[in-house]
Amino acid sequence: NAGVMQNPRHLVRRRGQEARLRCSPMKGHSHVYWYRQLPEEGLKFMVYLQKENIIDESGMPKERFSAEFPKEGPSILRIQQVVRGDSAAYFCASSQGFNQPQHFGDGTRLSIL
Amino acid sequence: GQQLNQSPQSMFIQEGEDVSMNCTSSSIFNTWLWYKQDPGEGPVLLIALYKAGELTSNGRLTAQFGITRKDSFLNISASIPSDVGIYFCAGRSGNTGKLIFGQGTTLQVKP
């Protein structure tokens, strides 16, 4: 399977803990995007990265959220000191270029107790 | 900020019927994309449109990029039960990869 791989598929955290979500893009894709989806809603853009660089983080909350896409390894979306409102499905997408179609992974469903 | 208005919000149709849904915006987009999402899964790309006026088909699906660059529609012909799911439009503008998504159209097909 050469698709976008996200793990874990489900993640449960208690308030105040840290959540780390991982995304391995499709082979040959160097552009990665993170989106958040609440129940019954569309996806909301969070951040766009291209190997080691953050290109657009206009959708990222100013505090507690960070993202990286290192030279080697998967992209990581990190949420520190999680709160109940962080509960959502987080999707990663990748593309060959910024104007090329984005292909999505199956998401990580984050639940905060 | 940019918003996409997708309609209808939901549809309940008989198997074999044709379906049409659309997205409109007050902003211009350079790219329109249509995705289908099944429960518990990520969106799957159906059709990508890059030019105003472009009409593209993928099997029983047909989508068009509006001339004004502010709208797009998706048609599904001769619907079947596996067409059930949530359909999203998404638009991209400027020189960023950021996609703006519509609110989705939930399609239910009665056998």
pLDDT of amino acid A5? 97
pLDDT higher than threshold 90 for residue B2 = no
Of A31, A41, A48, the CB nearest to B103: A41
Which three-class secondary structure state does DSSP give residue A28?
A: coil
Q: Residue A105 is nearest to which of B35, B42, B98, comparing CB atoms?
A: B42
Distance from CA of A43 to the nearest CA of B (A): 6
DSSP H/E element including A21: strand A19-24
Give the pLDDT band of residue B1 (cuts 50, 70, 90): low
Q: Which residues 6+ apart lie within 8 Å of B83 measured at CB?
A: B19, B76, B107, B109
Q: What is the mean pLDDT of residues B5-32?
A: 96
| pLDDT tops 70 at residue B56 | yes
Q: What is the pLDDT of residues B73-103, one digit of tens each?
A: 999 999 999 999 999 999 998 888 999 999 9
Q: Which of A58, A39, A61 is nearest to A47 (CA)?
A: A58
In this prediction, residue A51 carries a pLDDT of 87
pLDDT confidence of residue B15? 97
**Do residues B34 and B46 make contact, with C-beta atoms less than 8 angstroms apart?**
yes
Which of A95, A101, A104 has the CB atom closest to B42's CB atom?
A104
Is B24 in contact with B103 (CB distance < 8 Å)?
no
Instruction: Output the pLDDT for position A40.
Output: 81
Q: What is the pLDDT of residue B43?
A: 96
What token pair was written down for B34? 């249509």
**SS3 assignment, position A97:** coil
3-state helix, strand, coil in chain A (%, to 5): 5, 50, 50
Give the span between the Cα atoms of A88 and A58, in whole angstroms: 19
Test mutation, A102, A103, A104, A111, chain B, max B CBs within 10 A: A102
- Angle B5-B8-B12 from CA coordinates, rounded to 5°: 155
Pick out chain A residues at pLDDT < 70.
Answer: 1
Residue A107's Cα: distance from chain center in Å? 8
Query: Which residues does chain B have within 8 Å of residue A102's beta carbon, measured at their own beta carbons?
Result: 33, 45, 97, 99
Q: Which of A45, A55, A90 to mutate to test the interface with B (most CBs of B within 10 A)?
A: A45
How confident is the model over A41-72, as pLDDT tens digits? 889 999 999 988 999 999 999 999 999 999 99
Q: Which of A43, A60, A75 would you mutate first to test chain B, the one with the most B CBs within 10 A?
A: A43
